[in-house]
Chain A
Amino acid sequence: FFIVGLIFIPIGIGIFVTSNNIREIEIDYTGTEPSSPCNKCLSPDVTPCVCTINFTLEKAFEGNVFMYYGLSNFYQNHRRYVKSRDDSQLNGDSSALLNPSKECEPYRRNEDLPVAPCGAIANSMFNDTLELFLIANESDPTPTPIRLIKKGIAWWTDKHVKFRNPPGEGTLEERFKGTTKPINWLKPVYMLDSEEDNNGFINEDFIVWMRTAALPTFRKLYRLIERKNDLHPTLPAGQYYLNITYNYPVHSFDGRKRMILTTVSWMGGKNPFLGIAYITVGSIAFLVGVVLLVINHKYRSTSNTADTVAF
Chain B
Amino acid sequence: MMCVPREEVVRAEDERLLQANNRKLTTYFGYPDNAIKTSKYNALNFLPMNLFEQFQRLANAYFLILVFLQLIPQISSLASYTTVIPLMVVLSITAVKDAIDDLKRHQNDNQVNNRSVLLLVNGRMEEDKWMNVQVGDIIKLKNNQRVTADILLLSSSEPYSLAYVETAELDGETNLKVKQAISVTSDLEDNLELLSAFDGEVKCDPPNNKLDKFAGILTYKGQKYLLDHDKLLLRGCIIRNTDWCCGLVIYTGPDTKLMKNSGKSTFKRTHMDHLVNVLVLWIFLLLGIMCFVIAVGHGIWQSKIGYYFQIFLPWENYVSSSVVSATLIYWSYFIILNTMVPISLYISVEIIRLGNSFYINWDRKMFYAPKNTPAQARTTTLNEELGQVKYVFSDKTGTLTQNIMVFDKCSIYGKLYGGSCDKGGSKVPDSKKEKVDFSYNKLANPNFSFYDNTLVEAVKSGDNWVHLFFLSLSLCHTVMSEEKVEGKNVIVAGRSKNVGMPIAVLPHADGVHEHPGGDATVTVSHHYTPKEQLKKHTILADIVVSAAGELVYQAQSPDEGALVTAARNFGFVFRSRTSETITVIEMGVTRVYQLLAILDFNNVRKRMSVIVRTPEDRLMLFCKGADTIICELLHSSCTDLNNVTMEHLDDFATKGLRTLMVAYRELDAAFFQTWSHKHSSACLSLEGRENKLSIIYEEIEKDLMLLGATAIEDKLQDAVPETIITLNKAKIKIWVLTGDKQETAVNIAYSCSIFDDEMDRVFMVQGKNYETVYQELRTARAKMKPESLLESDPTNIHLSTKPKMPFAVPDEEPNGNYGLVISGYSLACALEENLELELLRTACMCKGVICCRMMPLQKAQVVELVKRYKKAVTLAIGDGANDVSMIKGIIFWGFIAAAHIGVGISGLEGMQAMLNSDFSFSQFHYLQRLLLVHGRWSYNRMCKFLSYFFYKNFAFTLVHFWYAFYNGFSAQTVYDSWFITCYNLIYTSLPVLGLSLFDQDVSEMWSLCFPELYEAGQHNLFFNKKKFMNCLLHGIYSSFVLFFVPMGTIHNSERSDGKDISDFQTFSLIVQTSLMCVVTMQIALKTTYWTLMSHLFIWGSLGFYFCMLFLLYSDGLCLMLPNIFQFLGVARNSLNQPQLWLSIILSTVLCIIPAVGYIFLKPLFYPASVNKVFDRIHHCMKYPLPPPVQTRLKHASLRRSAYAFSHQQGFGALITSGKTMKIRPKKKNSSPFKN
Contact = CB atoms under 8 A, between A and B. Distances in A.
B1161 interface: yes
13 contacts: A4-B1153, A66-B1058, A79-B973, A87-B1126, A91-B1119, A120-B313, A156-B1133, A158-B1128, A211-B1060, A214-B1067, A264-B1058, A274-B1049, A277-B1048
Given A88-B1123, A90-B1122, A249-B311, A155 B1056 contact: no
Contact of A299 (B1059, B1063, B1164): B1164
Contacts of B1064: 76-77, 82, 211-214
A214 B1146 contact: no
B93 interface: no
Interface string A252-287: 111000000010111111110110011001000100
Contacts of A74: 312
Interface in B1134-1150: 1137-1139, 1142-1143, 1146, 1149-1150
Interface stretch (A51-59, A168-176, A215-223, A235-243): A215-223
Interface stretch (A35-43, A109-117, A185-193, A288-296): A288-296
Nearest to B1143: A274
Contacts of A103: 1123
A68 interface: yes
Given A77-B972, A87-B1122, A292-B1160, A161 B1115 contact: yes
Contact of A268 (B305, B967, B1056, B1161): B1056
Interface string B919-953: 00000000000000000000000000000000000
A124 interface: yes
Contact of B1161 (A75, A215, A292): A292
Interface string A1-17: 10010001001000100
A118 to B, nearest CB: 12
Contacts of A15: 1142
A-B complex: 8 closest residue pairs judged by Cβ atoms: A157-B1129, A269-B1054, A214-B1067, A87-B1122, A273-B1048, A253-B308, A124-B312, A66-B1058
A4 B1156 CA distance: 12
A133 interface: no
B1056 A292 contact: no
B1054 A82 contact: no
Interface string A69-102: 0100111111111101011101101000000010
A103 to B, nearest CB: 8
B1124 to A, nearest CB: 9
Instruction: Determine which residue in B312, B1067, B1123 has the highest number of CB atoms from chain A within 10 A of its CB, and name it.
Output: B312
Interface of A: 1, 4, 8, 11, 15, 64, 66, 68, 70, 73-82, 84, 86-88, 90-91, 93, 101, 103, 106, 120, 123-124, 153-158, 161-162, 208, 211-221, 224, 249, 252-254, 262, 264-271, 273-274, 277-278, 281, 285, 288, 292, 295-296, 299, 303, 306-307, 310
A252 B1053 contact: no
Nearest to B1152: A4
B1158 to A, nearest CB: 11
A215 B332 CA distance: 20
Interface in B1078-1131: 1115, 1118-1119, 1122-1123, 1126, 1128-1129
Nearest to A66: B1058
B1068 A11 contact: no
Interface in B307-323: 308-309, 311-314, 316-317
B376 to A, nearest CB: 40
Contacts of B876: none
A33 B1051 CA distance: 25
A84 to B, nearest CB: 8
A77 B1057 CA distance: 24
B441 interface: no
B1139 A268 contact: yes
Contact of A274 (B1056, B1118, B1122, B1142): B1142
Given A68-B1060, A162-B1128, A91 B1122 contact: yes
A274 B1146 contact: yes
Given A1-B1156, A212-B1063, A221-B1059, 6 more contacts: A68-B1060, A123-B312, A218-B1063, A220-B1060, A262-B1054, A292-B1161
B1119 to A, nearest CB: 7
Contacts of B1132: 157
Interface in B718-757: none
Interface string B276-309: 0000000000000000000000000000011011
B1060 A264 contact: no
Instruction: Determine which residue in A219, A295, A310 has the highest number of CB atoms from chain B within 10 A of its CB, and name it.
Output: A219
B227 interface: no
Contacts of A1: 1153, 1156
Contact of B972 (A82, A254, A310): A82
Interface residues of B, number: 69
A213 B1056 CA distance: 18
B1139 A79 contact: no
Contacts of B1055: 264, 268-269
Nearest to B972: A79
Given A77-B967, A81-B312, A271-B1049, A214 B1059 contact: no
Contact of B1066 (A80, A161, A208, A214): A214
Contact of B1053 (A8, A254, A268, A288): A268
Given A161-B1129, A277-B1146, A269 B1119 contact: no
Contacts of A299: 1164
B1175 interface: yes
Contacts of B1054: 66, 68, 219, 221, 262, 264, 268-269
Given A161-B1128, A268-B1139, A292-B1157, A78 B968 contact: yes
A214 B1056 contact: no
B77 interface: yes
A266 B1056 contact: yes
B313 A265 contact: no
A219 B1052 CA distance: 6
B967 A271 contact: no
A69 B1067 CA distance: 19
A78 B314 CA distance: 12
Contacts of B1161: 292, 295
Instruction: Determine which residue in A8, A88, A217, A277 has the highest number of CB atoms from chain B within 10 A of its CB, and name it.
Output: A277
A310 B316 CA distance: 72
Given A106-B314, A154-B1059, A157-B1129, A303 B1167 contact: yes
Interface in B839-879: none
Nearest to A105: B316
B700 interface: no
A93 B1122 CA distance: 10
A214 B1071 CA distance: 11
Instruction: Determine which residue in B1050, B1052, B1057 has the highest number of CB atoms from chain A within 10 A of its CB, and name it.
Output: B1052
A274 B1048 contact: yes
A78 B313 contact: yes
B1194 interface: no
Instruction: Determine which residue in A80, A103, A295 has the highest number of CB atoms from chain B within 10 A of its CB, and name it.
Output: A80
B453 interface: no
Given A161-B1128, A253-B309, A75 B967 contact: yes
A306 B1163 CA distance: 14
B528 interface: no
Contact of B968 (A158, A216, A220, A303): A216
A271 B1050 CA distance: 8
A161 B1062 contact: no
Contacts of B1067: 214-215
Contacts of B308: 252-254
A209 B1153 CA distance: 39
A155 to B, nearest CB: 5
B228 to A, nearest CB: 68
Given A213-B1064, A214-B1067, A253-B308, A267 B1056 contact: yes
Nearest to A275: B1142
B1069 to A, nearest CB: 10
